[in-house]
Structure 1
């Protein structure tokens, strides 16, 4: 990692910087690239394939974009930014090294932004993206004009990052590679503590390891707030942690906090718990309860976060969600239960063989919250299937033999079976961080 990335203090102008992003279509990389361009840098980037984030950047016209990676894409001089997903033998990283270009990990560039602004960072195993997006949305609607970078597109598809003028920065603090420890954080939110990234660079071996990193992340912040579950795990390490506990009302998508009632546009109690954190931070920053209430009620939600994609020919609604950890799977299926009087039918595509192996039983238990679950093959992502022949979705079905699972390997057959199975009052939930989202195109009419 370049010393330039370590020493940058925010006083240098961004205009005149030449930055190239390797893997620009990633959710975090694309947001950083857009903010850098809006701040005045000349930005280019490449990715192996298109993504919703790549296409969102293309729509701005601010960045020179390339599909496929080649030495020809790199500038003659400047900085090259890469993420943990980009291997050292990537042709663009190799070329950057050969040319002596400044190389920065994604987190180093984000750390530069945290030193330029009063930074509000959202950490936790689950709910970071929705919570950070909701906070940015509330602060923006209250007139504070924050800069923000979040890992999901607002619905309908819109930008997920912006360079604001209010001197505030809202980001997600990802624990997967421990890079969150490099950020200069003024306000820290912790949604929860859980073991998720078992196969990643951070090398977590237990939930206690995660709690240690999150407490180190938050301890220097001026204001730190977490959910009750986060407090249960962090209280001894982080005595300054404040807690926001929402109260229930008679309405399914609303909550009480500090004597005020807030209506949410998002179903699921997990969203109410995270929204309570947003309310407390917004109040800390001087936003009125009325301004917060208006924003919470109109928040459009994010792509692939319990996103309604449409209906099947029989009238069953199809929702799409990025959940890829047992806790998240359980939360989305509980949310689905709250919006239907019919059955909840899940289609689950496990993400990573290592995660499937680590949480086989927990996934099976979470999926029993659906009335019927279809299992797709594991989405390998960065892992080599040849090294994981002993792990498959069938392990999940075998963990609870009495549960109702159907394993299907052909997506066209799955779509046909679902179309016949799901009736008017049922909901279908596509669950997973892989490409299960594409199934919606085969299910939804019109």
Structure 2
């Protein structure tokens, strides 16, 4: 039976309640009986889902939105110090709690699985949530994206397992104490918070040190950064490696594409095991193997968990098919780091066969573009053509000299066919002029580029039937 509600969180107020991480915690608290309130910059389907759970959601940020009797104010690292609700909390003496502390409190008394890594966290967390639910284990989960199946990023379950996405971007994953930790990969990212790979490795070492006594680390045997992290560990934590490397404890023997699915065969405890992954791409197959290894570490029989993993059909924004019009399919991708971009483009190439692929890419963060713009451009060269938008700033202020031109120049140097489009409103028409029947359009990025999918489909639906590429 899952534990009850932490007293300090019985009347929480969330600043930025509509965010992926924040809304998940708010949903679980509401489901546990808390009087949840909060604010967000704009209304959304997430805000409506929270209201349906009984939460009070204000649109816009204002001091009067914070109730005097709030037990705490929950914030993420994106909330600025001059936020009026945060200033009001200081005046009233209301405690301020980081979202990672709130999530850690929700996991107390349960058996947490924390999924970390530079890429693939949302997918792997989702695979575990769906497969454990399929097995009737009723897990709680908090994910950085909405599942296709349950249609939510979080749920309070009655079982004793809690699956959580563990974010390294601001070191908040140091707050968790998992029974099983997954590390999918270790790369330099989040350049505003990490200056070097050494800092990244130190941060992940701290996370590993938080695994409870008798717990297990599941970590990639293939990824160079993960192998280096494993080498640096002192051996005090039970470690299970997975991947295609010959020395992997759970060895991937084959990944066979089958349209938009894959058939995966692994060697586990000396015996082969074959199962289906219902999303395309080798990297998603590896995520499923990580989820399998983590479930086995919790004591779930592999023969039961493996087929249950096939119930996972995707997460919104992770190679999500948005629709088809005029013979053109539109797929949405959250990829915003070069490694993710490359993986998703390779997956779509394998699934699409001879189809022509056009990417609409929106860079995310000035700091990431400054450090990785060249690699982003090189990744775009894997598509047949690319449209590149302005940088989505998110929480950052502009950096002089850092623009999308860094990516465009690198892409062209790599041989890519690139069209800059600075006005998002023009994208649907530009894409319609560049595509024809049989083509595939991939909207890509962590910002609001996802909004363009329906608009592109609407524009394509108005194309003449014998559309030709421009």
Same fold (TM over 0.5): yes
* Equivalent residue for 1:302, pick from 310, 315, 323: 315
Q: Does 1:316 align with 2:328?
A: yes
Partner of residue 45, structure 1: 38
Q: Does 1:393 align with 2:393?
A: no
Alpha carbons 2:131, 2:311 under 8 Å: kept: no
For residues 67 and 334 of structure 1, do their structure 2 counterparts lie closer, same or farther at Cα, with a shift above 3 Å needed?
same
Select between 234-243 and 284-293 the one with higher mean Cα deviation: 284-293
* Equivalent residue for 2:381, pick from 368, 372, 384: 368
Partner of residue 280, structure 1: 293
Does the residue aligned with 1:292 lie in a helix, a strand or coil?
helix
Does the residue aligned with 1:320 lie in a helix, a strand or coil?
strand
Partner of residue 428, structure 2: 415
Partner of residue 465, structure 2: none
Alpha carbons 1:124, 1:190 under 8 Å: kept: yes
Shift in Å at residue 13 of structure 1? 5.1
* Equivalent residue for 1:225, pick from 200, 212, 218: 218
Task: Please give the alpha-carbon distance, in whole angstroms, between the structure 2 residues aligned to 1:390 and 1:377.
Answer: 13
Deviations 1:166-214 (A, max 9, x none): 1211111111111111212211000100111002xxx311223212211
Select between 147-156 and 25-34 the one with higher mean Cα deviation: 147-156
Shift in Å at residue 390 of structure 1? 1.2
For residues 12 and 367 of structure 1, do their structure 2 counterparts lie closer, same or farther at Cα, with a shift above 3 Å needed?
closer
The total of aligned residue pairs comes to 430
* Equivalent residue for 1:17, pick from 10, 26, 30: 10
Does the residue aligned with 1:28 lie in a helix, a strand or coil?
helix
Task: List structure 1 segments (4+ residues) > 6 angstroms apart after TM superposition.
Answer: none
Partner of residue 120, structure 1: 113
Alpha carbons 2:81, 2:87 under 8 Å: kept: yes
Task: Please give the alpha-carbon distance, in whole angstroms, between the structure 2 residues aligned to 1:20 and 1:365.
Answer: 43
Task: Please give the alpha-carbon distance, in whole angstroms, between the structure 2 residues aligned to 1:49 and 1:189.
Answer: 34
* Equivalent residue for 2:240, pick from 239, 242, 265: 242
Task: Please give the alpha-carbon distance, in whole angstroms, between the structure 2 residues aligned to 1:83 and 1:250.
Answer: 40
For residues 408 and 369 of structure 1, do their structure 2 counterparts lie closer, same or farther at Cα, with a shift above 3 Å needed?
same
Does the residue aligned with 1:359 lie in a helix, a strand or coil?
helix
Shift in Å at residue 15 of structure 1? 9.8
Task: Please give the alpha-carbon distance, in whole angstroms, between the structure 2 residues aligned to 1:349 and 1:378.
Answer: 6
Alpha carbons 1:119, 1:168 under 8 Å: kept: yes
TM-score relative to the length of structure 1:
0.92
The 5-angstrom pairing of residues 319-330 of structure 1 reads 319-330=331-342
Structure 2's unaligned 5+ residue stretches are 244-251, 462-470
Q: Does 1:143 align with 2:140?
A: no
Shift in Å at residue 11 of structure 1? 7.9
Select between 358-367 and 157-166 the one with higher mean Cα deviation: 157-166
TM-score relative to the length of structure 2:
0.87
Shift in Å at residue 433 of structure 1? 0.8
Alpha carbons 1:231, 1:243 under 8 Å: kept: no
* Equivalent residue for 1:352, pick from 362, 365, 368: 365
Does the residue aligned with 1:342 lie in a helix, a strand or coil?
coil
Does the residue aligned with 1:198 lie in a helix, a strand or coil?
coil
Deviations 1:90-145 (A, max 9, x none): 11011111011121111111121232311110000101011111111111111221
Shift in Å at residue 334 of structure 1? 0.7
Task: Please give the alpha-carbon distance, in whole angstroms, between the structure 1 residues aligned to 2:54 and 2:334.
Answer: 28
Question: CA-atom RMSD, angstroms?
Answer: 1.9
Deviations 1:20-44 (A, max 9, x none): 1111011111010111111121111
* Equivalent residue for 1:102, pick from 91, 95, 118: 95
Partner of residue 167, structure 1: 160
For residues 208 and 417 of structure 1, do their structure 2 counterparts lie closer, same or farther at Cα, with a shift above 3 Å needed?
same
Does the residue aligned with 2:201 lie in a helix, a strand or coil?
helix
